[in-house]
Chains A and B, each alone.
Chain A
């Protein structure tokens, strides 16, 4: 798989785990196309996503449907699957733990810093996936492999089952797809893809 494709894959996952926004919401079909093209054995999840896309055509209704599930899943109150890695790595389930500082340090070592306007914590799932996309795009494959191993993979092992078990449309299907993608990578022994 070429580096551009790998980058696009990471970015596609980052896109959906960032807070819902009209751009991504309106392009959901295209992300699903990408996944079904390059990730094997995800037919069931793709079917469910296609059904969702049909039920909620691009526009405000779809965006609101995404919010309906994104908020309790990741954002406020119930937070069924907190999107911050620190929450799963000690420190009593709180944010901004050591892992947040560790990934921030990793970003810096690779020449990146989170923009002030991003407004997100460094160990947010979408942020880590987006970072992987940038590394892949730039051909920083060693760094990508190391980041996967040290940070992303342990985080995904904690969070993906939670998202899947939430049974929330779109997100649980995409978590399934991302998990299969991760498993495939491990089988191939090739973290970078």
Chain B
């Protein structure tokens, strides 16, 4: 019989699928391996770093019997104090999730139909390579776009696009704090400025929410300041967890710049600013003084809804605490198209109290190469080495987002980040030219970009969409090829420079072997893809051990030592503030611009936007019956990344629409009512959360829900995807805009 041939062949080892022990090759004879060895009760700790969000906190992974059983913070890193957040704790549930992607997949049905087949890595690489070269031949390398969540994978991922001659490589920053980066860059000449929360005495947040948008070291630092008696003031239309820890000012959304300009007005009027600092280190102050001279507290009260008395009191308190006071520069998606001018104004008001390079203020981060210019610090200057690459071909076209074009806002958009929302527009409108292929690495444009339905339309027009991720995300679901990345607990990767007030290096190393054996680390994926595409020269390292060793060589730290320590800071070095002991110390090394001044008036910004100092633009407020729609982060999820992670989904499977009881009553709604939210073009279903913790003219939901990939089984169809309702408006410096949309709400 035929079947006897097939099954018998397999069973006794004569068939095509035969292996040593017979069967489908799953088993081998045990041979010399001792049976008892499998049950050995081994317990170890592996130092690595978390990746449940992009903060890369150093961690200590407890491994028992080859399995991750617990994750703690690294015990020797004082900034983290041995703790991690809830998301970090949920790492093992991601690692052992049966819903992860396990093999490369190629789409077999219509796009978005969810039909795929699993293929070998070689097949996947060949498919991608062929399609990319087709696009390049037909439309040019610039028709290929790449977008990723910013991180150490960029060096590898981006090499593919750059080697194909594409200028269109993007990070996710435009959907995150890019307006802040632009403000830092155009004020100080570099983005590497951080806040010394732990030592501050007065902290004003403009929507920054350290207790829900968690960065463990920063959240701990703010907590430390508060327990030392620092005062916290929070401007937010919503009563966030952070607002609950201080004085909550429920400001009208989009009017924050009015508050900040009024602070400057009061400080000038009452002589509360640091004149010496302003004259020694800044330029353009008089233009700023002119700009804010009519931005009185009375004017600001009308704009912001916050009483002039409060604005005056807070400004006086803030100035009295100088220089150990921080008006926080924020870390979130832009509110308005001109959000970067708000960020610039924030930086300027900070500089008015001279809080740069002193404890409790702002500081330039201190990587090793920075220290070499300071004679008493040069001994700590052990910089990481770079891995060299041949030069990339010059792109034959400019970027689709106009980055780098003089005399336009593109002049000040950071080329490393770009305006990622522009990819969707270029696919759909073919302006300035069409994008035909999009490679996405651990980024989910469907959830992270505004106007999600338009993002789906764009996906459908592509010749090639490739997603590399751990889950079948919404974007993966619409992709042609899905590449399964292993999790951070299964991979080693380049040493990170996480310098703060001292240099600091952190390692990520595999804590356990691959759970699903056909998943791979990103560096291997892009190296192998590069080799398949004939661009292997850009990946001149043998493996990650080799890569890390090359990085560490100039530091004199061995890889074994780094693995053993997990975190390295120069022994004996104290926190270094350039002006700690000399208020007049030179800031030439801190400022990376040509002027070597803090540019309150910026020639570049003037050229790019005609606003060399921030100017106030009044944004419309919602009329009766409409609400301003705002979004924010929650402590147990990371934006688009974790809605499907088992434990985090269990903690918070869905979101709701926050609405004030006054507004609920007007609309005849009560808590938990099913509703429809409408923003004009789009509608979304949801549920009401009736709460005093929001202004009556504003509604709010947490970001990252409302997933459309049925293969995110736990998260699918649950909650509101705020970005479904918000138009894809690209702000002045390429930023996403999230707080200018008005909605109506009705009972479902």
A-side residues, CB < 8 A to B, are 4, 7-8, 11-12, 14-15, 18-21, 23-24, 27, 30-31, 33-34, 63-64, 67-68, 71-72, 75-79, 82, 84, 87, 91-97, 101, 104-105, 107-109, 111-115, 117-121, 126-127, 130-131, 133-134, 137
**Interface pair B24/A87, CB less than 8 Å apart:** no
Which residue of B21, B24, B35, B93 has the most chain A CB atoms within 10 A of its CB atom? B24
Whether, in the assembled complex, B77 has its beta carbon less than 8 Å from a beta carbon of chain A, the answer is no
**Interface pair A105/B39, CB less than 8 Å apart:** yes
Which residue of A23, A72, A77, A115 has the most chain B CB atoms within 10 A of its CB atom? A77
- The listed residue (B29, B516, B710) touching A112 by CB distance below 8 A is B29
**Interface pair B471/A77, CB less than 8 Å apart:** yes
> Could you write out 24 A-B pairs with CB less than 8 Å apart?
A4-B8, A11-B23, A12-B7, A14-B24, A23-B6, A30-B2, A63-B117, A64-B115, A68-B115, A76-B102, A92-B646, A93-B646, A94-B92, A94-B96, A95-B98, A97-B96, A101-B38, A104-B38, A108-B30, A114-B26, A117-B19, A133-B11, A134-B21, A137-B12
**Interface pair B11/A118, CB less than 8 Å apart:** no
Nearest residue, chain B, Cβ from A134:
B23
Given A64-B117, A68-B115: A108 and B3 within 8 A (CB)?
A: no
Please name the 5 residue pairs, one residue from A and one from B, whose CB atoms are nearest each other, closest first.
A77-B711, A30-B3, A119-B517, A94-B96, A108-B35
**Interface pair A117/B25, CB less than 8 Å apart:** yes
Q: How far is the CB of B109 from chain A (nearest CB, A)?
A: 7
Given contacts A23-B6, A76-B105, A77-B710, list 8 more A-B pairs with CB under 8 A.
Answer: A15-B10, A33-B1, A87-B98, A111-B29, A111-B30, A112-B29, A113-B30, A133-B23
Contact with A along B628-661 (1 / 0, CB 8 A): 0000000000000000001100100000000000
Q: How far is the CB of A5 from chain B (nearest CB, A)?
A: 10
Given A23-B16, A75-B102, A95-B97: A33 and B117 within 8 A (CB)?
A: no
Nearest residue, chain B, Cβ from A119:
B517
Residues of A with C-beta under 8 A to B15: 23
Residues of B with C-beta under 8 A to A127: 26
**Interface pair A94/B116, CB less than 8 Å apart:** no
Residues of A with C-beta under 8 A to B6: 23, 27, 30
Given A11-B7, A114-B26, A119-B518: A101 and B65 within 8 A (CB)?
A: yes
Bound form: Cα–Cα A63–B477 in Å: 20
Instruction: State the main secondary structure of chain A at its contact with B.
Output: helix
**Interface pair B17/A77, CB less than 8 Å apart:** no
**Interface pair B11/A7, CB less than 8 Å apart:** yes
Q: How far is the CB of B282 from chain A (nearest CB, A)?
A: 54
Q: How far is the CB of B426 from chain A (nearest CB, A)?
A: 29
Residues of B with C-beta under 8 A to A120: 26, 517
Nearest residue, chain B, Cβ from A61:
B108
Residues of B with C-beta under 8 A to A133: 11, 23
**Interface pair A78/B517, CB less than 8 Å apart:** no
- The listed residue (A8, A19, A115) touching B28 by CB distance below 8 A is A115
Whether, in the assembled complex, B67 has its beta carbon less than 8 Å from a beta carbon of chain A, the answer is yes
Which residue of B33, B515, B711 has the most chain A CB atoms within 10 A of its CB atom? B711
**Interface pair B98/A94, CB less than 8 Å apart:** yes
Given A15-B10, A76-B100: A115 and B472 within 8 A (CB)?
A: no
Residues of B with C-beta under 8 A to A79: 98-99, 713
Given A92-B647, A93-B646, A127-B26: A77 and B472 within 8 A (CB)?
A: yes
Q: How far is the CB of B95 from chain A (nearest CB, A)?
A: 8
Q: How far is the CB of B350 from chain A (nearest CB, A)?
A: 46
**Interface pair A130/B27, CB less than 8 Å apart:** yes
Nearest residue, chain B, Cβ from A110:
B30
Residues of B with C-beta under 8 A to A94: 92-93, 96-98, 646
B700-748 contacts to A, CB under 8 A, are 709-713, 716
Residues of B with C-beta under 8 A to A101: 38-39, 65
**Interface pair A77/B109, CB less than 8 Å apart:** no
**Interface pair B109/A68, CB less than 8 Å apart:** yes
Contact with A along B396-420 (1 / 0, CB 8 A): 0000000000000000000000000
Residues of A with C-beta under 8 A to B8: 4, 8
**Interface pair B101/A76, CB less than 8 Å apart:** yes
